[in-house]
């Protein structure tokens, strides 16, 4: 299940979306996230779902691979649906003692789950199509005006980029340790709750030791390259071109259409 996490991974397919400027993709992702969390109708959800599927196709990413990133979150999505179904009041369609299911509850539960799925999928496409170095440079450029008030923009961008990069590394390392423990005869998926909690210890301790070791190696590598000493330069110069304006314009038109539709609906 951990290997299915797609947030923080980068897949280089040399597509149209990969060639866009990192700043454009970050701004468009923020705009898409706001739109997905603000929509209140299933029509708007359908339009945004078509947009995210089109973005995945433009990035030459298999739809199955993008959707697979939702697998680790399936229990959270299921909990959100069940919680909203049984807590939202309205026209009752089923009732048993204090528990009841309403039409409004089902509608709101599906809407909330769809919002969450779109939000996660949009963030996954950003990291799948933007390398960690380009993402760091783009974040630093977007936050550059904050340097005027003495905010360490480059350090903040680096921290955010390293955090995203460590998510798939953490998942891959956990998967590797679990396979090693199973090869030694450890039973990690059966038994009572207490025995399952005990079986987590042989995985958790080496996992954290491995993560701390990787973090130490990263800090030594950054220190050996004199990170933080002097002005930081960019690996390559990027600029916002016609394709960036076209992509952002299409997304702005879609979000503007949805805003008008939501206002008059």
Please give the pLDDT value at position 96.
Answer: 79
**100 has which bridge partners?**
95
Q: Are 112 and 84 in contact (CB under 8 A)?
A: yes
Mean pLDDT of the chain: 81
> Do 124 and 188 belong to one domain?
no
**Average pLDDT in the 96-112 region?**
84
Do 94 and 223 sit in the same domain of this protein? Answer: no
Residues 37 and 115 reside in one and the same domain: yes
pTM above 0.85? Answer: no
User: Same domain, yes or no, for 51 and 113?
Assistant: yes
pLDDT per residue as tens digits for the range 123-156? 888 888 888 778 878 888 888 888 888 888 877 8
Boundaries of domain holding 15: 1-130+236-265
- Asked if residue 159 and residue 194 are part of one domain, the reply reads yes
Do 82 and 210 have their domain in common? no
* 5 and 58 assigned to the same domain: yes
Average pLDDT over residues 191-216: 75
Q: How far apart are CA 165 and CA 10, in angstroms?
A: 9
> 262, 44 in Cβ contact below 8 A?
yes
Are the C-beta atoms of residues 28 and 248 closer than 8 Å to each other?
Answer: yes
pLDDT band at 75 (very low <50, low <70, confident <90, very high): confident
Number of domains in the chain: 2
Pair 96, 224 in one domain: no
Q: Are residues 41 and 123 in the same domain?
A: yes
pLDDT value at 28 more than 70: yes
Same domain, 88 and 12: yes
Q: Which residues contact 93 (CB under 8 A, 6 or more apart)?
A: 101, 102, 103, 106
Select the more confidently predicted residue: 229 or 98.
98
Assess whether 25 and 117 both reside in one domain.
Answer: yes
Please compute the mean of the pLDDT values over residues 179-193 and round it to a whole number: 70
What pLDDT was estimated at residue 193? 60
| 2: pLDDT strictly greater than 60 | no
């Amino acid at each position: 299940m951990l290997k299915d996490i797609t947030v923080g991974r980068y897949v280089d397919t040399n597509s149209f979306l990969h060639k866009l400027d990192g700043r454009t993709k970050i701004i468009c992702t923020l705009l898409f996230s706001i739109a997905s969390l603000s929509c209140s109708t299933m029509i708007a959800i359908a339009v945004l779902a078509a947009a995210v599927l089109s973005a995945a196709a433009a990035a030459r990413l298999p739809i199955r691979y993008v959707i697979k990133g939702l697998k680790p979150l399936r229990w959270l999505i299921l909990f959100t649906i069940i919680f909203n179904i049984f807590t939202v009041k309205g026209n009752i369609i089923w009732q048993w003692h204090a528990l009841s299911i309403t039409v409004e509850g089902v509608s709101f539960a599906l809407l909330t789950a769809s919002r969450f799925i779109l939000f996660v999928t949009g963030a996954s496409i950003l990291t799948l199509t933007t390398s960690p170095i380009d993402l760091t440079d783009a974040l630093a450029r977007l936050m550059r005006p904050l340097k005027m008030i003495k905010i360490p923009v480059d350090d903040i961008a680096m921290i955010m980029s390293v955090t995203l990069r460590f998510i798939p590394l953490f998942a891959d390392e956990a998967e590797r340790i679990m396979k090693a423990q199973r090869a030694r005869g450890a039973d990690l998926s059966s038994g009572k709750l207490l025995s399952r909690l005990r079986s987590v210890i042989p995985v958790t301790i080496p996992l954290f030791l491995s993560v701390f070791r990787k973090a130490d190696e990263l800090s030594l590598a950054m220190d050996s390259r004199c990170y933080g000493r002097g002005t930081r330069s960019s690996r390559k110069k990027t600029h916002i071109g016609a394709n960036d304006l076209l992509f952002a314009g299409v997304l702005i038109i879609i979000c503007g259409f949805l805003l008008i539709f939501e206002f008059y609906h």
